[in-house]
A and B are shown apart, each in its own frame.
Chain A
Amino acid sequence: MSCVGIAIGVAAVVAILGIAQSTTAGLLNQLYSLQDLLTVNGSAVTSGSSNLPGYSLATVARLGPVESVSGSVQLTWTVRRNALVPSEYTAGITVLAVSGNIANTVGAHLLFGRALGPRNSLPVAVLGYQAAQLLAVNRQNVPCRIWMGGRWVVVTGVLSPAPLAAQINDSALVGYAFAARDGAAPGGFDTLYVRTQAGAASGVLSILPATVEPLSPVDVLVSQPSAGVAAEIAARTSLDNLFLALAGVGLIVAGLGVANTLTIAVVERRPEIGLRRALGATRRDIAIQFITAGVVLALGGALLGVALGLVVGAMYAWHSGVPDALPLLGVGAGCGAAVLVGVAAGIFPAVKASRLPPSDALRLDP
């Protein structure tokens, strides 16, 4: 049972470090891939309208450090699988008219099918990842038709999840030219997505408001979504440290269990201790025997705990879709901590055993 206690403590350490490493790896992947993404929205502080002007796309595209820019505006259209579905059953899917290669800009990619063209005026759409799930559109039934804005529109493709552009995931995307032809597009944008060259985001961020709205830059809100990811990493690190501390407390408690087991063993093995002393064992030999027993107990638990912790970490990574990072530090820390716990737990029983008078231990008849 002492072994199991150590196993649980070590499993907790390994699992926490593994999960932390996996989660951080996943977040860092997002951070590295999307740290150059900026989003621009209107704020209507002075103009009364949150719409960004239509020319802003071109003016932002002309900025040197800008690699790509796309714009989107939400339409009033609803999306249903067919015309027989009541109009109020929208499943929360919005329709966005987009201009530019929005998938590339926001860090998504085409999962399957075909993308919208740059100036698409045809009644075709591409679905965000979540929208496709809701409409039951998959690899097997693309291309297919959906009922949108009072007509059939052909779905030609589905995008991968866009972690920092959540609105894209829940939307059906149509070409801005197609929406404008129907008069549904207002002529401007709700949101601009701007991807800069590596490391240039902070510089572009400072000049974007004036670039988008030269007359009232205060009406332009620019954000860097990856900043939130960095903050999340920092917050998770703090939380993970707390969990690690708790796991450490658990290990200490398990160590007390090992010490208790060994102390009982000293009592039960009194005759054996006396015999070994009679055979020539020194106090040091006896002490080493019990400390070794403590380390073996703890290491046995550690190995079990490492295996358990790695399994838990792998299961979490698989379930959460983050990389399964092998926590070498966690395995080393867990085993090292277990050895320390074993040694510490063995010291008191070892001293007690070594000080046992051999004649008392053998209990010679009077």
Chain B
Amino acid sequence: MGVNRPVLQLEAVGKEFKGRAGVLALRDVSLTVNSGESLAITGATGSGKSTLLSIMGTLDRPSTGRVRVQGSDVSHLSDSSVSRLRAKEIGFIFQSFHLLSRFTALANVEEALAYSDLSRDAKREMAAVALADVGLGQRLEHLPSQLSGGEQQRVAIARALVKRPTIVLADEPTGNLDRAAADNILELLAGIGRGRAALLVVTHDETIARALTRVVRLESGILISDSAGPPAGD
């Protein structure tokens, strides 16, 4: 399975948001995530969790340090190369789902394959299978407005997983859901964690944190604890 193969490496990553005051959102964060690992990133509001998620997902570039995805140093890649890497290797699950309201569930999941070279039929088939895997095989033609919150998040999970990424990043995936729906999502996330992909979840939810195999904690942009051992680089 290659459980110990690193899929994501952060080396002394720092992020400063320039402005009148200048904010140091992350300071000297080093982290290695292996394939098949499931990791919770916790911390208080303003601790830098979302900034860390953005950098790990290559949505933002660090001010200092290095980020390697599947061994490639993304700081040396062009925007289009990073985008292609993201299209292939990284899936996202957002707190507010971020589904396209005018698209059906099936079309929303197909969007994740929009930047691949697959044929239209292949995309459609893969999307239908992904939705069936999350229990929405009967909801392919429903619009997001016709789905419950939990169902919308399941569509988002299907979208994240349809391309079989090596890294799945989830930002407060149960933040907008009730307890029952949240448990349902947790079960699905646990399934990701048992698979080949590395799962990283930003969460306030202790239930989710406890369900995952590794917990790292941020405070004021500094990685202060890592249940896998001392923070990498110490």
Please give the residue numbers on chain A whose beta carbons come within 8 Å of chain B beta carbons, in ascending order.
271-272, 274-285, 357-359, 362, 364-366
Residues of chain A within 8 A of B83, CB atoms compared: 277, 280-283, 285
> What's the Cα separation between A285 and B80 when bound, in Å?
9
Q: Say whether, besides A358-B59, A366-B46, A282 and B79 are in contact (CB < 8 Å).
A: yes
Interface readout for B110-134 with A: 1 if CB under 8 Å, 0 if not?
0110110000000000000000000
Residues of chain B within 8 A of A284, CB atoms compared: 80
Asked if B54 CB lies within 8 Å of chain A CBs, one says yes
Give the contacts of B33-92 with A (CB-CB under 8 A).
45-46, 49-51, 53-54, 57, 59-60, 79-80, 83-84, 86-88, 92
Closest to A278 in B: B92
Residues of chain B within 8 A of A365, CB atoms compared: 50, 95, 171-172, 175
The answer to whether A359 touches B59, judged by C-beta atoms less than 8 angstroms apart, is yes
> What's the Cα separation between A365 and B44 when bound, in Å?
11
The answer to whether B172 touches A278, judged by C-beta atoms less than 8 angstroms apart, is no
Residues of chain B within 8 A of A283, CB atoms compared: 79-80, 83
- Looking at the assembled complex, report how far the CB atom of A279 sits from the nearest CB atom of chain B, in whole angstroms: 5
Residues of chain B within 8 A of A285, CB atoms compared: 83, 115
> What's the Cα separation between A275 and B53 when bound, in Å?
15
Show 27 residue pairs from A and B whose CB-CB distance is below 8 angstroms, ordered by the A residue. A274-B59, A275-B111, A277-B59, A278-B57, A279-B86, A279-B87, A279-B92, A279-B112, A279-B114, A279-B115, A280-B84, A280-B87, A280-B114, A281-B114, A281-B115, A282-B84, A283-B79, A284-B80, A358-B60, A359-B50, A359-B51, A359-B59, A362-B59, A364-B95, A365-B50, A365-B172, A366-B45
The answer to whether A366 touches B80, judged by C-beta atoms less than 8 angstroms apart, is no
Residues of chain A within 8 A of B98, CB atoms compared: 271, 274-275, 362
Closest to A284 in B: B80
- Looking at the assembled complex, report how far the CB atom of B180 sits from the nearest CB atom of chain A, in whole angstroms: 22
Residues of chain A within 8 A of B54, CB atoms compared: 358-359, 364
Residues of chain B within 8 A of A277, CB atoms compared: 59, 83
Interface SS of A by simple majority: helix
Closest to A269 in B: B100
The answer to whether B50 touches A364, judged by C-beta atoms less than 8 angstroms apart, is yes
- Looking at the assembled complex, report how far the CB atom of B155 sits from the nearest CB atom of chain A, in whole angstroms: 13
Residues of chain B within 8 A of A366, CB atoms compared: 45-46, 49-50
Residues of chain B within 8 A of A272, CB atoms compared: 100
Closest to B169 in A: A278
> What's the Cα separation between A145 and B166 when bound, in Å?
103
> What's the Cα separation between A278 and B83 when bound, in Å?
8
The answer to whether A275 touches B100, judged by C-beta atoms less than 8 angstroms apart, is yes
> What's the Cα separation between A272 and B102 when bound, in Å?
11
- Interface-central residue, A275, A279, A358, by most chain B CB under 10 Å: A279
The answer to whether A282 touches B53, judged by C-beta atoms less than 8 angstroms apart, is no
The answer to whether B95 touches A278, judged by C-beta atoms less than 8 angstroms apart, is no
- Interface-central residue, B54, B59, B87, B100, by most chain A CB under 10 Å: B59
Q: Say whether, besides A271-B98, A279-B112, A359-B60, A364 and B80 are in contact (CB < 8 Å).
A: no
Residues of chain B within 8 A of A364, CB atoms compared: 50, 53-54, 94-95, 171
Residues of chain B within 8 A of A357, CB atoms compared: 59-60
12 additional A-B pairs beyond A276-B111, A277-B83, A279-B114, beta carbons within 8 Å, are: A272-B100, A274-B59, A278-B92, A279-B86, A279-B112, A280-B83, A280-B84, A280-B115, A281-B83, A364-B53, A365-B171, A366-B46
> What's the Cα separation between A359 and B98 when bound, in Å?
13
- Looking at the assembled complex, report how far the CB atom of B200 sits from the nearest CB atom of chain A, in whole angstroms: 13
- Looking at the assembled complex, report how far the CB atom of A208 sits from the nearest CB atom of chain B, in whole angstroms: 78
- Interface-central residue, A280, A285, A357, A362, by most chain B CB under 10 Å: A280
Residues of chain B within 8 A of A271, CB atoms compared: 98
Closest to A354 in B: B79
Residues of chain B within 8 A of A282, CB atoms compared: 79-80, 83-84, 115
> What's the Cα separation between A365 and B52 when bound, in Å?
12
> What's the Cα separation between A276 and B103 when bound, in Å?
14
> What's the Cα separation between A362 and B58 when bound, in Å?
13
The answer to whether B86 touches A278, judged by C-beta atoms less than 8 angstroms apart, is yes
> What's the Cα separation between A279 and B108 when bound, in Å?
11
- Looking at the assembled complex, report how far the CB atom of B168 sits from the nearest CB atom of chain A, in whole angstroms: 12
Q: Which 7 A-B pairs have the closest CB atoms?
A: A280-B87, A359-B54, A364-B50, A280-B115, A358-B59, A282-B80, A282-B83
